[in-house]
């Protein structure tokens, strides 16, 4: 195994700073941008002891860049009642800033791959829909859904009651979603981002920008910049990344080169994965992490 190195890049964005963590063993390896999901930070991809998907990929020779969206992780200032940022800004300002930073480090002509967990994949798709000139060599989405259609008791309790009803009440009191205090996430979220996310989750038949009405479903009908995307989710996903809702998102994007994979013992994997351990389980290094690495390599070769 190669020895990995890490460094933090801080990107000015108005009066704020975005954090981008670089993890690598080969500085000339193919760059990979990793975007976390809602109520979490980039730490979903790596631990303090450098375990997880990002360090694994770095040891395999890839040049990995893990983003912290506004107010999360080491991005500053942290989420508070004063935070006014929106989901649209994550799409139109934050992701472009991360891409630009990678291009400055690696060159504008160097193809970039992208990996996202959960809601991070929705943000990446929205970014590509809004910027037809933007592109990635390939993408991998882990437990990514855009809306939730499944109905079960776990969904009613965790989403409808805790995240939606209790979350809305506490957001009005705190001025932001206190996900850490609620014990529903590892990072708090600004009131606007939470509200915007909630509207998309409950919007089953349309996908439009909350601030300007941009029609994402219409944009995907003519989009030419959606790369081959591997959608992975676990059999133990009961509402946050249920296979039915992952497939619904795939239909919304309708990209013929995309592939779906369900991670379960029945399908030959080492465990029945859920929403978090799909990124963090130690079994992943000898299970689906190599599949993710191979997917990116295969797409790069296919483009040559």
In a domain, 178, yes or no: no
Q: Is the predicted pLDDT of residue 214 greater than 70, yes or no?
A: yes
State the pLDDT at residue 130: 98
Max Cα-Cα span within the chain: 54
Which residues fall within 8 angstroms of residue 10, CB to CB, at 6 or more apart?
17, 18, 19, 20, 74
Mean pLDDT of the chain: 96
State the pLDDT at residue 302: 47
In a domain, 182, yes or no: no
List, in sequence order, the alpha helices (H) in the chain. 53-59, 87-89, 95-106, 119-130, 153-155, 167-174, 179-182, 191-201, 216-222, 243-253, 277-280, 289-303
Mean pLDDT value of segment 141-161 = 97
Place of tokens 């941008």: 33
Give residue 228's pLDDT band: very low, low, confident or very high (50, 70, 90): very high
In a domain, 243, yes or no: yes
Other Cβ atoms closer than 10 A to 172: 9
Nearest to 118 by CA among 144, 139, 149, 95: 144
State the pLDDT at residue 106: 96
State the pLDDT at residue 299: 78
In a domain, 196, yes or no: no
Mean pLDDT value of segment 14-35 = 96
Other Cβ atoms closer than 10 A to 9: 16
Q: Which domain holds residue 253?
A: 5-147+207-303
Instruction: State both tokens at 257.
Output: 């080169």
Mean pLDDT value of segment 213-233 = 97
Q: Is the predicted pLDDT of residue 63 greater than 50, yes or no?
A: yes
In a domain, 158, yes or no: no
Distance between CA 44 and CA 38 in Å, rounded? 11
Distance between CA 194 and CA 192 in Å, rounded? 5
Angle at 126 between CA 120 and CA 132, to 5 degrees: 130
Nearest to 229 by CA among 207, 253, 203, 209: 253
In a domain, 292, yes or no: yes
User: Omega of the bond prior to 77 within 30 degrees of 0, cis?
Assistant: yes
Q: Is the predicted pLDDT of residue 301 greater than 80, yes or no?
A: no
Q: Is the predicted pLDDT of residue 304 greater than 70, yes or no?
A: no
Mean pLDDT value of segment 273-300 = 94
Share of the chain above pLDDT 70, in %: 98
Mean pLDDT value of segment 27-31 = 95
pTM across the whole model: 0.96
| Residue pLDDT, tens place only, 96-128 | 999 999 999 999 999 999 999 999 999 999 999
CATH number where 118 lies: 3.40.50.1820
Distance between CA 54 and CA 291 in Å, rounded? 14
State the pLDDT at residue 10: 98
Give residue 82's pLDDT band: very low, low, confident or very high (50, 70, 90): very high
Nearest to 304 by CA among 190, 137, 171: 137
In a domain, 270, yes or no: yes
Q: Is the predicted pLDDT of residue 1 greater than 90, yes or no?
A: no
Nearest to 235 by CA among 269, 260, 284, 272: 272
State the pLDDT at residue 145: 98
Mean pLDDT value of segment 138-156 = 97
Instruction: State both tokens at 279.
Output: 């990124």
Domain count, the chain: 1
Give residue 143's pLDDT band: very low, low, confident or very high (50, 70, 90): very high
CA-CA distances (angstroms) from residue 264 to 7, 190, 272, 280, 293?
35, 35, 4, 15, 19
In a domain, 294, yes or no: yes
């Amino acid at each position: 195994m190669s020895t990995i190195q890490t460094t933090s890049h801080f990107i000015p964005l108005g009066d704020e700073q975005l954090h981008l963590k670089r993890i690598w063993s080969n500085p000339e390896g193919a760059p990979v941008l990793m975007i976390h999901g809602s109520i979490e930070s980039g730490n979903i991809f790596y631990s303090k002891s450098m375990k997880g998907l990002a360090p694994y990929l770095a040891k395999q020779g890839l040049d990995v860049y893990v983003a912290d969206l506004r107010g999360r992780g080491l991005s500053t200032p942290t989420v508070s009642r004063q935070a006014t940022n929106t989901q649209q800004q994550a799409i139109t300002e934050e992701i472009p800033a991360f891409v630009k930073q990678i291009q400055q480090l690696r060159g504008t002509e160097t193809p970039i791959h992208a990996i996202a967990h959960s809601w991070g994949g929705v943000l990446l798709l929205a970014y590509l829909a809004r910027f037809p000139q933007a592109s990635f060599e390939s993408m991998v989405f882990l437990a990514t859904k855009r809306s939730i259609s499944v109905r079960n008791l776990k969904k009613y309790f965790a989403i409808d009651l805790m995240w939606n009803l209790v979350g809305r009440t506490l957001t009005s009191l705190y001025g932001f979603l206190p996900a850490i205090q609620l014990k529903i996430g590892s990072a708090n979220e600004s009131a606007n981002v939470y509200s915007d996310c909630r509207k998309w989750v409950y919007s089953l038949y349309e996908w439009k920008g909350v601030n300007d009405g941009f029609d994402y479903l219409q944009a995907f009908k003519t989009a030419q910049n959606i790369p081959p995307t591997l959608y992975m989710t676990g059999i133990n996903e009961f509402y946050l990344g249920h296979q039915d809702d992952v497939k619904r998102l795939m239909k919304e994007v309708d990209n013929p080169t995309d592939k779906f994979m369900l991670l379960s013992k029945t399908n030959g994997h080492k465990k029945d994965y859920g929403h978090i351990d799909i990124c963090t389980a130690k079994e992943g290094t000898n299970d689906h992490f190599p599949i993710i690495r191979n997917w990116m390599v295969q797409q790069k070769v296919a483009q040559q």
